[in-house]
């Protein structure tokens, strides 16, 4: 509308000795609206962004369908299609005789109207499509680099178009006997199982990269084994790992990596194994081969730290007071503002300033366990004494409030009121595999460990003798 208005606006300025006297304001406004109405009715300057979108609402299903009959302006919403219908509609139908398919590449600043004009496509068809509303409104927010596939005839009449709206869905518009119909369909997903093996020489991330693992899978590995292995201090050259994980493809193109299915990690001569198990009730978790949960009820380090600046000690020289005093926790040095998370599920019993601890939070984690977090720069908003928190939920941010010589988290674990070393205390595990699901767990465990073992043997057989090069092979 603004573009049209600027074309129709007339500036009356003096010219030489005389000038044209400007018309009264009401007459100018009347001319403006008459000209604008004429251009819109004639279809000469269509701009779909000026059209109000009907308030159709959004379907709660994964697929929404909006259809509009050609003769009338009413919009109806038929029931969502079944999975079979979705699969059948996963791509536009074959081109009819005489039809062409064009890929419209979105440039910076483009609108769909610009694309239609640039490619000699019918603007009247664009108006009809945009009047569908609902899912079609996503076409109002196209971005540079996106591709819109359009099927049309030689005269520019649009027979259908499609655009991927996210990793898993595509918007499709097709002309039918009753006008245009739009639907969002699921893009078929293909999941394969991949295997990776790595030998650490410099760092875990270097070995994982050489093994072909994405950062996403590597971080999963660190998180899952992080309950038992300190990846900041325990990793040594020669440590090895093997992983079975999912790779997700759509239409033959890799999209993302799925969860780790099974893994083993050997460090300091000890091998740790984990498997993923999804119970019949839908709950998924990671367990050791004997059915114990990998997840512990408490974290040993509830912050992403750079180093341990001070350990648990009963005879430590206080760096501020300069005399020996017990240090009943571990100091994790980290940049100012680093998020601090709850070490386990529990209830906040104290939140405020506490003597030399500065800003401090104390959580009762149940079972006789209590955790303390000190020297925060600030607390997370929305929490207070009495609030329930979940493991990994942010409760504050690293600082140096209280008696501190630099930004760090002072972290304590108390068992029945007695301070224990967070680095060595025996931590309670989360719930094991329920007894009722043990048969299913044992079956899945045998399959996954066999795949992990067979894939490792395949890697050894296909790797040159004496080579430590990591390979990725598909596990069958």
What is the pLDDT at residue 431?
A: 87
Counted residue by residue, the chain has a size of 476
What is the pLDDT at residue 94?
A: 65
CATH architecture assigned to 307-420:
Distorted Sandwich (2.70)
Angle (nearest 5°) at CA 294 between 270 and 446: 75
Question: 406-436, pLDDT tens digit by residue?
Answer: 999 999 999 999 999 998 898 888 889 999 9
Q: What mean pLDDT is reported for the chain?
A: 78
pLDDT of 470 strictly over 60: no
What is the pairing mode between strands 158-164 and 472-474? unpaired
459 phi and psi, to 5 degrees? -60, -45
325 phi and psi, to 5 degrees? -150, 140
Instruction: Give the pLDDT mean for 289-300.
Output: 91
Confidence of residue 23 (pLDDT cuts 50, 70, 90): very low
**Of 39, 28, 48, 69, whose CA–CA distance to 111 is shortest?**
48
Contact 155, 79 (CB under 8 A): no
**Domain parsing of the chain, residue ranges:** 2-42, 62-78+97-186, 190-295+433-474, 307-420
Distance CA 363, CA 369 (A): 9
If one compares 79 and 391, the residue with the highest pLDDT of the two is 391
Instruction: Give the pLDDT mean for 28-54.
Output: 49
Question: 148-174, pLDDT tens digit by residue?
Answer: 999 999 889 999 999 888 878 888 898
Distance CA 288, CA 295 (A): 10
Angle (nearest 5°) at CA 271 between 266 and 272: 105
**Range of weakest confidence among 219-233, 287-301, 332-346, 369-383:** 219-233
Contact 153, 100 (CB under 8 A): yes
What is the pLDDT at residue 432?
A: 92
If one compares 386 and 39, the residue with the highest pLDDT of the two is 386
Q: Quick one: what percent of the chain has pLDDT higher than 70?
A: 73
Q: Coil, strand or helix: which one is 118? A: helix
Instruction: Give the pLDDT mean for 38-58.
Output: 42
What is the pLDDT at residue 15?
A: 32
- Could you tell me which residues come within 8 angstroms of residue 326 by beta carbon, excluding any fewer than 6 positions away? 313, 314, 315, 316
Instruction: Give the pLDDT mean for 331-354.
Output: 96
Q: Tell me how far CA of residue 401 lies from CA of 218, 332, 338, 379, 423, in angstroms.
A: 34, 14, 14, 12, 24
Confidence of residue 70 (pLDDT cuts 50, 70, 90): very low
Element (DSSP H or E) covering residue 377: strand 369-379
What is the pLDDT at residue 49?
A: 40
Q: What is the CATH number of domain 62-78+97-186?
A: 3.10.450.350
Instruction: Give the pLDDT mean for 322-334.
Output: 82
**Of 426, 464, 456, 14, whose CA–CA distance to 244 is shortest?**
456
What is the pLDDT at residue 97?
A: 74
Q: Quick one: what percent of the chain has pLDDT higher than 90?
A: 42
If one compares 112 and 458, the residue with the highest pLDDT of the two is 112
190-295+433-474: which CATH topology? Nuclear Transport Factor 2; Chain: A, (3.10.450)
**Range of weakest confidence among 39-48, 238-247, 375-384, 450-459:** 39-48
pTM value is: 0.56
Evaluated on CA atoms 316, 317, 319, 321, the torsion sign reads positive
Residue 19 structure tokens: 């000038």
Instruction: Give the pLDDT mean for 388-412.
Output: 95
Instruction: Give the pLDDT mean for 227-245.
Output: 88
If one compares 50 and 336, the residue with the highest pLDDT of the two is 336
What is the pLDDT at residue 32?
A: 60
Instruction: Give the pLDDT mean for 9-17.
Output: 31
How far is Cα of residue 319 from the mean position of the Cα atoms in its chain? 43
Confidence of residue 81 (pLDDT cuts 50, 70, 90): very low
What is the pLDDT at residue 307?
A: 87
If one compares 375 and 49, the residue with the highest pLDDT of the two is 375
Confidence of residue 2 (pLDDT cuts 50, 70, 90): very low
What is the pLDDT at residue 440?
A: 95
Instruction: Give the pLDDT mean for 206-230.
Output: 90
Q: Tell me whether domains 62-78+97-186 and 190-295+433-474 share a fold.
A: yes
What is the pLDDT at residue 456?
A: 66
């Amino acid at each position: 509308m603004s573009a049209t208005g600027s074309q129709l606006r007339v500036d009356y300025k003096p010219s030489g000795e005389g000038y044209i006297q400007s018309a009264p304001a009401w007459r100018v406004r009347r001319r403006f609206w008459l000209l604008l109405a004429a251009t819109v009715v004639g279809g000469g300057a269509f701009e779909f962004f000026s059209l109000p979108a009907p308030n159709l609402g959004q379907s709660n299903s994964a697929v929404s369908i909006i259809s509009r009959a050609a003769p009338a302006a009413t919009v109806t919403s038929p029931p969502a299609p079944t999975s079979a219908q979705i699969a059948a509609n996963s791509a536009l139908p074959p081109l009819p005789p005489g039809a062409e398919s064009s890929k419209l590449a979105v440039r910076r600043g483009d609108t769909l109207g610009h694309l239609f004009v640039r490619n000699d496509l019918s603007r009247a068809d664009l108006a009809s499509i945009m009047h569908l509303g609902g899912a079609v409104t996503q076409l109002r927010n196209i971005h540079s680099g996106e591709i819109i596939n359009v099927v049309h005839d030689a005269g520019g009449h649009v027979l259908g178009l499609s655009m991927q709206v996210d990793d898993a869905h595509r918007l499709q518009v097709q002309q039918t006997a009753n006008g245009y119909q739009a639907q969002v369909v699921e893009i078929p997903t293909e999941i394969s199982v991949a295997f990776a093996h790595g030998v650490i020489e410099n760092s875990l991330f270097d070995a994982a990269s050489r093994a072909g693992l994405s950062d996403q899978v590597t971080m999963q590995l660190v998180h899952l084994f992080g309950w038992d292995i300190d990846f900041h201090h325990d990793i040594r050259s020669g440590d090895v790992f093997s992983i079975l994980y999912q790779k997700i493809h759509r239409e033959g193109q890799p999209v993302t990596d799925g969860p780790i299915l099974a893994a083993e990690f050997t460090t300091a001569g000890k091998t740790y194994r984990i498997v993923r198990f999804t119970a019949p009730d839908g709950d998924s978790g990671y367990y050791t081969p004997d059915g114990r949960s990998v997840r512990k009820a408490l974290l040993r380090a509830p912050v992403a730290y750079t180093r341990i600046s001070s350990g648990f000690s009963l005879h430590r020289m206080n760096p501020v007071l300069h005399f020996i005093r017990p240090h009943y926790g571990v100091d994790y040095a980290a940049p100012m503002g680093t998020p601090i998370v709850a070490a386990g599920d529990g209830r906040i019993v104290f939140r405020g300033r506490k003597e030399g601890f500065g800003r401090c939070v104390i959580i009762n984690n149940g079972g006789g366990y209590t955790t303390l977090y000190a020297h925060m720069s600030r607390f997370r908003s929305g929490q207070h004494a009495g609030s329930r928190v979940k493991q990994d939920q942010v409760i504050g941010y690293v600082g140096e409030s209280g008696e501190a010589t630099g930004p760090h988290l002072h972290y304590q674990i108390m068992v029945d009121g007695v301070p224990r070393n967070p680095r060595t205390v025996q931590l309670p595990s989360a719930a094991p595999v329920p007894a009722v699901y043990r048969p299913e767990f044992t079956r899945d465990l045998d399959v996954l460990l066999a795949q992990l073992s067979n894939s490792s043997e395949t890697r050894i057989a296909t790797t040159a003798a004496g080579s430590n090069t990591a390979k990725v092979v598909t596990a069958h």
